[in-house]
């Protein structure tokens, strides 16, 4: 009986270690994706009228947006999804993008990773609207 309990305990420890290593790998992958994420400024004046959906996922943060374009201007950005941890404050950049008509807006302090992911989702939508 004691031997069976020791084997069971060892299996539980091994499973926990495997889960922990997998989680650490996922965190490192997430950190690398965010660190290497670039957003290109798209000339809004070259956008065709329409509504475009874009999304971006770095595992722990993902976003999906719907961007409306009329007469070469982004008129509205609707947030369809934002899995963000503590990054909800970054959502204000969507209004800034519309106001400045540019993706070159500052990220939100304390929510910089969510800021990057949101901007990338908008960029992915706008790429679909390029003439």
Q: Which residues of 84-123 are buried (b: 16+ CB within 10 A; e: fewer)?
A: beebeebbebbebbbeeeebebebbeebebbbbbbbbbbb
The pair of three-digit structure tokens given for residue 65, joined into one six-digit string: 């947006």
DSSP output for 62-127: EEEEEEEEETTEEEEEEEEEEE-TT-GGGGGHHHHHHHHTSS--PPPTT-HHHHHHHHHHHHHHHH
Domain 44-129: give its CATH code: 3.90.1010.20
Q: Any idea which residue has 């929510």 for tokens? A: 111
- Reading across the β-sheet that carries 62-70, which strands appear in turn? 50-57, 62-70, 73-83
pLDDT at site 85: 79
pLDDT at site 13: 83
The pair of three-digit structure tokens given for residue 37, joined into one six-digit string: 């994420």
Distances (CA, A) of 120 to 1, 2, 63: 57, 56, 9
Listed by start position, the domains of the chain span 44-129
- Tens-digit pLDDT profile for the chain (131 aa)? 788 888 888 888 888 888 877 777 777 877 888 889 899 989 999 999 999 999 999 989 999 999 999 999 999 999 999 998 788 999 999 999 999 999 999 999 999 999 999 999 999 999 998 86
The pair of three-digit structure tokens given for residue 11, joined into one six-digit string: 């299996």
Residue 128's Cβ-side half-sphere holds a number of Cα atoms within 13 Å equal to 16
């Amino acid at each position: 009986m004691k031997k069976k309990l020791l084997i069971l305990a060892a299996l539980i420890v091994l499973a926990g270690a495997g889960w922990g290593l997998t989680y650490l790998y996922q965190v490192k992958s997430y950190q690398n994706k965010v660190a290497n994420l670039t957003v290109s400024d798209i000339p809004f004046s070259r956008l065709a009228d329409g509504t475009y959906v874009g999304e971006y996922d770095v595992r722990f943060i993902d976003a999906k947006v719907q961007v409306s374009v009329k007469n070469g201007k982004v008129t509205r950005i609707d947030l369809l999804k934002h899995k963000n941890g503590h990054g909800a404050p970054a959502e204000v950049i969507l209004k800034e993008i519309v106001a400045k008509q540019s993706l070159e807006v500052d990220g939100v302090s304390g929510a910089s990773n969510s800021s990057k992911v949101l901007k990338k989702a908008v960029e992915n939508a706008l790429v679909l609207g390029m003439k």
